[in-house]
């Protein structure tokens, strides 16, 4: 099993450009998440999908959109990139939510720079 995979690994954008970060998991998990990691701030939740067909905002959703394409795939879109979105983005997945018991499994991350 590959676990959680993310593409691309690195990306450089100019301000105003758009892009989609792709995430896929092969563990048959129901829930998927997008986080951003910034120095000293830990990981902050951008959006999550508790189950196929549902998406909800996290702590820092502004400037982002998501699509839960199917059970395996959860994409994150930046419509008009800004320098403040320079960060490392992580996708994660977990089994059916059961009151917070289940651990999340993380992908290797996408390092995004917006000039």
Partner 1 sequence: AQSVTQLGSHVSVSEGALVLLRCNYSSSVPPYLFWYVQYPNQGLQLLLKYTSAATLVKGINGFEAEFKKSETSFHLTKPSAHMSDAAEYFCAVSEPGAAGNKLTFGGGTRVLVKP
Q: Which residue ranges make up the site for partner 1 (CB under 8 A)?
A: 4, 31, 33, 35, 40-45, 48, 50, 56, 58, 90, 92, 94, 97-104, 106-109
The least CB distance from residue 48 to partner 1, in Å, is: 5
Q: Where are the alpha helices (DSSP H) in the chain?
A: none
Nearer to partner 1, 14 or 99 (CB): 99
Nearest by Cα to 94 from 76, 64, 74, 75: 74
Nearer to partner 1, 1 or 14 (CB): 1
Burial (CB count within 10 angstroms: exposed 0-12, middle 13-18, buried 19+), residue 106: middle
The least CB distance from residue 112 to partner 1, in Å, is: 15
Nearer to partner 1, 19 or 43 (CB): 43
- On whether the CB atoms of residues 96 and 30 are closer than 8 A, the answer is yes
List all residues 6 or more positions away from 6 whose beta carbon is below 8 Å from its beta carbon: 21, 22, 23, 89, 90, 91, 107, 108, 109, 110
Nearer to partner 1, 85 or 104 (CB): 104
The least CB distance from residue 24 to partner 1, in Å, is: 14
């Amino acid at each position: 099993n590959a676990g959680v995979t993310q593409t691309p690994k690195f990306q450089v954008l100019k301000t105003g450009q758009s892009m989609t970060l792709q995430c896929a998991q092969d563990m048959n998990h129901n829930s998927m998440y997008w986080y951003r990691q910034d120095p000293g701030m830990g990981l902050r939740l951008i959006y999550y999908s508790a189950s196929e067909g549902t998406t909800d905002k996290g702590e820092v959703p502004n400037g982002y959109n998501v699509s839960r394409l199917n059970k395996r795939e959860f994409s994150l879109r930046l419509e008009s990139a800004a320098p403040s979105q320079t960060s490392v983005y992580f996708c994660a997945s977990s089994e059916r939510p059961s009151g917070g018991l289940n651990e999340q499994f993380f992908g290797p991350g996408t390092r995004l720079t917006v000039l």
